[in-house]
Chains A and B, each alone.
Chain A
Amino acid sequence: MNESSHTSTTMERQAMHKTPKVNEVNEFIEIASDFEDPLEVIREALSNSYDAEATWVEIEIKQDDEGRNTLIIEDDGHGMDEQDLESFFDLGNSNKHDAIGYKGHGTKIYYKSDEIRVESVKDGNHVESVMEQPWETLNNHELPTYSVDTEETDETSGTRIEVHGFRAGQGFDPEQLTYNKIEHYIKWKTIGGSTAWHFDDDFHEFDIEVTLSPQIDNTRKPIETTNKLEFPDENLHPDGEFVAERMCKHFPPRELTVTLDDGRELTIEVVGMVGGKEARNELPTYGKHSAQFGIWLAKDHIKVERYNDAIGADNEFFHFFFVANCQSLELSANREKIRNKSGDVYQAITNELERFMTKVCQEEWYRDYIARRKLEDKKRSVQSQESSLQDRLVKTKEQGGLSPSNPAEVIAALERYSANGSPETVEIADFRMDEEVNAIVNTDDGYKNAALQAKLSDFFEDETPLTHIDRFICWKVGDRDALTKIERASYLGDPIRFDFSNNEVTYGEEDKKTIPVLELVDKM
């Protein structure tokens, strides 16, 4: 190494700090595209309005004849000032810390549009802001800008956001929306389905209205609801014969406390109901019900994912609808998943929940309900049995009495034949339904191995060996053609002959064997 290079190395060792760079345009595009479910727009809007302490929020989704979409979100919350507007448009600059939408990502979904217009009144100031062509600008690798106009006003506070030309297809397709789907989503995935009101005396209630333009859904009236998820009415002991479906019991709010090994305390707020299908159908669900019932883990009292293992294998999850809220759960950015599943917090929550659910399942009313369901199922099967019996009765009358279709009925025919003075004794001494030689009969010549068949021809279809058979007892011979065919071809390699004038089967070449056949049909 020469001297000069030594010097330059020393100089390069001077401390050098670099700041990671963010490609802001790409970030905006990324985040605006990150929301995959079109309904997430509604979730964001509701969370923002709730956090703004609104008493009502109205969401309108319109589509014009050319397929362009407009979203209008209006509430009477505390409104936004210029600084709040910055948070609204900036990335990662939320001024919310303990609220639901604290990451500051949600509103960026509106960037996928042709125009964002925000009007808001806060503390006597009216702010109006417009961002033109945000999506096109971002795709030209530029950051869009927005105008801000402020003036004094005596209007009450509130916010109105209009998003014009909202992009369909890639992230948001209003045509996929229906009122049913939205209502279900609001109640299951957003603040609109909150169970907080069970626990919080100062619960802040607000009204939600969602209107879709007729091009999107004209099947029913707009959605009007609140941010309370309510259970169907209790129906503990209904009268009537088939009532289990209507039965419903509420399990009132309860706070469960768990202490972790490190001394931290967790609180789990559980509330729920158990009920039959009719009762559960009163819950605002839509589509596949099996995906709704069971035990939900929640944060901010908004359901995240189910933990049906808490119910235990003895019980079917669909009787239950419980929400267990714990603020110590950590969620993924889109609130779809629990992030801290591998940790002790999740373990402690699920353990405690399992204990709690065992109590529910061992509760007397629940056990009565399950017993009642079983009983009613049995009663229903009795009813269907009754109608099948009626069918059978008609058929039996038509055929004029017993017409065996299985070996057990052949036994009944045989008994009747014996009772009516048969010339020989043939009594069943042992019968095993599934064996090839299914009976032992007691005859005047002692015990004999017998094959009992409704139709003799069926016996030969199964190619059962004749080695141990002393007697055939059948209701009727059956398909004589089939027997003739066997006679001509041989049976299991040996000659066989069916002689029905003498009621016997002869079989074999050298050790020829004769097996008497008792056909009952003409003897009754």
Chain B
Amino acid sequence: MVSFDVIAEAGETRRGQLQINDRTLETPHLFPVVNFYGGGNEPALFGGGIHRTVKEFMVNHPPTTGGTDYSDLFGGVMTSISSLTDYGIREKKLEEYLDNEIREWGKFSDYDGMIFADSGGYKILKQGGELEGEDFTKDITQDKALDMQLDLGPDIVVNLDHPIHPDDEFEERIEKMEKTAVNARQLAKRRDEVDGACYLTVHGYYEAMLERSFDAIENELDKPIPEVFDGIALGSLVPRKDNVEVLIEAVSDCRLEMQQRGYNDLPLHVFGISGNAMPLLVAVGADTFDSASYLHQAINGKYCVNLFETVPVEEADFHACDCRICNDGLHRDRMRNRLDDLYQKDILGSVAAHNLAIQQRELRRFRQLIAEADEDQIAAYLEEAVKDQKGFRKFAYKLINERIKPYFDDDGETSYA
């Protein structure tokens, strides 16, 4: 059973509840990207390094967490079939991985969050449509991708897509959109095999492009989209992730397109974006996100001060942070490298958990504001968030003026300071 209920709205911003079988997720929500199969065996949670530490936070492994349960940071996670071979495994190992669903592995048996199994279209397309291991390559078709996604025991699956690129020629783009649409049809055929939600990928940076993407899919399907799919996932934005104006336009136009086609009740997921752009994208109607940036930042020794700023972890002021990780002496000591026998993974694992906590905290605040359905507060929140971000604030102010509440009313009266 899948349902998505919008429980509060403020302008185009909305708060929702995504229910899949017996799991519920409050939106807007960020799915942190987790690689469940980082090489190695189950006792080591498949792989060492920071990936392992993150999974230990996820399943509440006391020696790592210090006994405090941080698993709510991972209320829903994103993983991809392409990540199965991230560590160059042999085919035999791949089969072993796929033999058991994630929750059937002992270490993950208590994990109660949602698992969003991505098809890994971007990476697979880059590898010429193949999944490459150490001693094998596999052609990945829609059917094979779905088989593998289902083997993970997912709550959400998505069709194998062919992401577009800003530099694509028109013809190339059309070809990719058509291939994505054919895959969507194939997933639709096997809808009944999925005991969870099926998401549909669409691609485009602005309305005309998105219109074409939706049209291509509708032409392939013999049923209306909402009868087959439970959510829309907007892809191809990662190459434009530093251009917040493009992101806002893409998400906003996608929402508009969904409205016009009558799919407004479906949740909108934005692939691969998190951090500083999130509040602005929520404000134009994005419901969920996924990103590995919390992890990548940590790997690079960066500690998030807020959504916009990072500092080298050695320079971080943990006492200025109100997150639970920074309020925990054990993690402060780890991040400061004050304990004996610390490995990088111990130091950076805590940093990654902190970085994620910062992003989740912002979304939690945002959810509370939306629940109050007060546009003034949302505008004030956005304004406060971008106050010192020169590059961002003009987009934020534009968005507030156009979509939420103008700073200068037409009658000459000011709305708020």
Contact = CB atoms under 8 A, between A and B. Distances in A.
A358 interface: yes
A494 interface: no
Contacts of A367: 398
A258 to B, nearest CB: 11
A358 B393 contact: yes
Contact of B406 (A250, A351, A354, A363): A363
Given A251-B408, A354-B390, A355-B387, A362 B413 contact: no
- Best-buried of A252, A359, A360 by chain B (most CB within 10 Å): A359
| Interface size grouping (class) on chain B | 10 to 19
A361 B410 CA distance: 15
B108 interface: no
B397 interface: yes
A358 B408 contact: no
Nearest to B392: A358
Contact of B394 (A236, A256, A314, A365): A314
A254 interface: yes
A312 interface: yes
Contacts of B407: 359-360, 363
Given A251-B408, A355-B387, A362 B397 contact: yes
Interface string B362-402: 00000000000000000000000001101001110110111
B402 A364 contact: yes
Interface string A298-321: 000000000000001010000000
Nearest to A252: B412
Interface in A241-293: 250-252, 254-257
B260 interface: no
B417 interface: yes
A254 B394 contact: no
Nearest to A314: B394
Interface string B236-271: 000000000000000000000000000000000000
Given A251-B408, A354-B390, A359 B397 contact: yes
B401 A364 contact: yes
B378 to A, nearest CB: 16
B414 interface: yes
- Best-buried of A234, A252, A354 by chain B (most CB within 10 Å): A252
A363 B401 contact: yes
Contacts of B398: 362, 367
A363 B405 CA distance: 10
A250 B401 contact: no
A361 B395 CA distance: 10
Contacts of A257: 417
Contact of A362 (B390, B394, B412, B417): B394
A451 B388 CA distance: 58
B417 A255 contact: yes
A367 B395 CA distance: 13
A256 B401 contact: no
Nearest to A367: B398
Nearest to A234: B412
Contact of A252 (B394, B402, B413): B413
Contacts of B400: 362
A252 B414 contact: yes
B414 A365 contact: no
A250 B408 CA distance: 10
A483 B395 CA distance: 62
Contacts of B417: 254-257
Contacts of A351: 388
B243 to A, nearest CB: 15
Given A254-B414, A355-B393, A362 B387 contact: no
A365 B410 contact: yes
B236 to A, nearest CB: 27
A250 B412 contact: yes
Contacts of B406: 363-364
A251 B413 CA distance: 9
B397 A358 contact: yes
- Best-buried of B387, B394, B395 by chain A (most CB within 10 Å): B394
Contact of B408 (A234, A354, A355, A363): A363
Given A362-B397, A364-B401, 14 more contacts: A252-B408, A252-B413, A354-B390, A355-B393, A358-B394, A359-B397, A359-B401, A359-B408, A360-B408, A362-B394, A362-B400, A363-B401, A365-B408, A365-B410
9 contacts: A251-B408, A252-B413, A358-B397, A359-B397, A362-B394, A362-B400, A362-B401, A363-B406, A367-B398
- List the 9 shortest-distance A-B pairs measured between CB atoms, nearest first: A362-B397, A362-B398, A359-B407, A359-B397, A358-B394, A358-B393, A363-B408, A252-B412, A358-B397
